[in-house]
Amino acid sequence: MELLTSFREKSQHKQSTEGTRMEKVRQLVEAQNQLQGNLKENSFQEMTNRMVEELEEKILALRESILVETHLSFECNRIELEECICNFGDTVERRGVKTNYAAFQSQIAVGAIENILPFGIAIDNITNQIFVAEHTHSGIQIFDENGILLKHFGEQKLKCPWGIAIDQLHVYVCDWGHHALFRFKLTDLSCVNSIGKFGPENGEFKWPRQITVSPDGSIFVADCFNHRICIFEPELIHVRNITHDSIVFPTDVKTTREHIYILTERKTMCMHVFTPTGEHVNSIITIGQGMDVELGWFFCLDVHNNFLISDMGANCIKVFSKDGQLVQKVGVIEDKGVLIECKGIAFSLAGKIICVSNTKYACLQIFY
């Protein structure tokens, strides 16, 4: 009885908190649309510079507040789930839920994306909007959770956008056509600055692929044909490079406070683990025909730092534990979700895997 009462109280508190959060999200989206609409139409006669600054300050304050509540809600869900498992027994099914695997069932193919060639994706965990880097229109398209196209940007600046990442203030895009890294404001989607040209020097790239924002705010770029990881400050100031014999044609990179994870193709087709200072720890999850992953360019980490790799060769998502053991395949043919040539993949704070597939079935798919 005490346990049931506790769950009811938590449920009521969660509903109240979620209602407050959703109202803030509504205000945030309204403010962003107002700002983006005015700037797009160059309506500065209606909005003075001070009004623009005040609106940007409001947006950033709302984002910070919502992010804190999002993290708290996510942590409450995790603790509540573990309490439920602890009190009602640890069956195989519940163990799966505890580690998020049993919940990863393909539920819905969300919205066909027509006439685009998508690659990298990123999630704004504040608004749950999905940012897709695509080649057909050389820009970034933004979708809601239902696959509805909301807006697009970057077509005047980008050529072949591949990787994309988001922090609290900006959207970062790797363009392998321009061999450059671009920074856009998240508030109004305007381009702030860029860095890069074709070459091997610091601040130059050769077909850069994926990008990520580290916990300390640094920007990590998989500089594929220079065989290195480039690290920048948020303002796109070059800091240092990570090079190693194992880093050959890196396609994706992700970071935690403890490790840097680098996915490579061709000669050293593995997931390579490095320390934050750039020292090689080990290599796990082999890639190639007959290996753990047949063909993988993109991966992400879930909340437990398990690896979620979109396997283009096997047409599914493969979930690996931290030590490189295959745990589950998601979106296989016999499942409800069918992934053909799956590319970009991301994991949201709402506990969902979002993957984009292209060529035969250009669509966003959500698994939870």
User: d(Cα 23, Cα 33) in Å, to the nearest integer?
Assistant: 15
The pTM for the full model equals 0.81
Rounded mean pLDDT, 6-16 = 51
189 and 336 fall within a common domain: yes
Same domain, 74 and 165: no
Q: In the prediction, which pLDDT does 105 show? A: 42
Q: Is 185 or 304 the better-scoring residue by pLDDT?
A: 185
Residues in the chain: 368
Under 8 Å between Cβ of 198 and 205: yes
Over range 159-170, report the average pLDDT: 95
Total count of domains within the chain: 2
What distance in Å separates the CA atoms of residue 304 and residue 222, rounded to the nearest whole number?
23
pLDDT band at 67 (very low <50, low <70, confident <90, very high): confident
Question: Rounded to an integer, what distance in angstroms lies between the CA atom of residue 230 and that of residue 223?
Answer: 7
Q: Based on the fold, state whether residues 176 and 79 are members of the same structural domain.
A: no
Q: What is the pLDDT of residue 1?
A: 46
Cα–Cα distance, 109 to 89 (Å, whole number): 33
Which residue stretches of 89-116 are H helix? 92-98
Res 95 pLDDT > 90? no
In this structure, are 125 and 57 located in the same domain?
no
Per the structure, the complete domain to which residue 260 belongs is given by 107-367
Mean pLDDT of 18-25: 74
Q: Mark whether 75 and 167 lie in a shared domain.
A: no
Q: What is the pLDDT of residues 272-322, one digit of tens each?
A: 999 999 999 999 999 887 788 988 899 999 888 899 999 988 888 898 988
Residues 160 and 308 in one domain: yes
Pairing of β 170-175 and β 180-185:
antiparallel
Final residue of a structural domain among 98, 119, 147: 98
Which of the listed residues 76, 98, 120 is the one where a domain comes to its end?
Answer: 98
Res. 25: pLDDT tops 60: yes
β pairing state of 316-320 and 219-223 = unpaired
Do 196 and 254 lie in a common domain? yes
pLDDT digits (tens, 9 = 90+) for 211-228: 999 999 999 999 999 999
Do 130 and 216 belong to one domain?
yes
Domain boundary among 98, 130, 149: 98
On average, the pLDDT of the chain sits at: 80
150 & 46 share domain: no
**What confidence score (pLDDT) does residue 35 get?**
77
Cα pseudo-dihedral 22, 139, 176, 271, rounded to 10 = 30
The reply to whether 253 and 220 lie within a common domain is yes
Residues 288 and 168 reside in one and the same domain: yes
Q: Are residues 258 and 357 in the same domain?
A: yes
CATH code, domain carrying 300? 2.120.10.30
Task: Give the pLDDT of residue 84.
Answer: 39
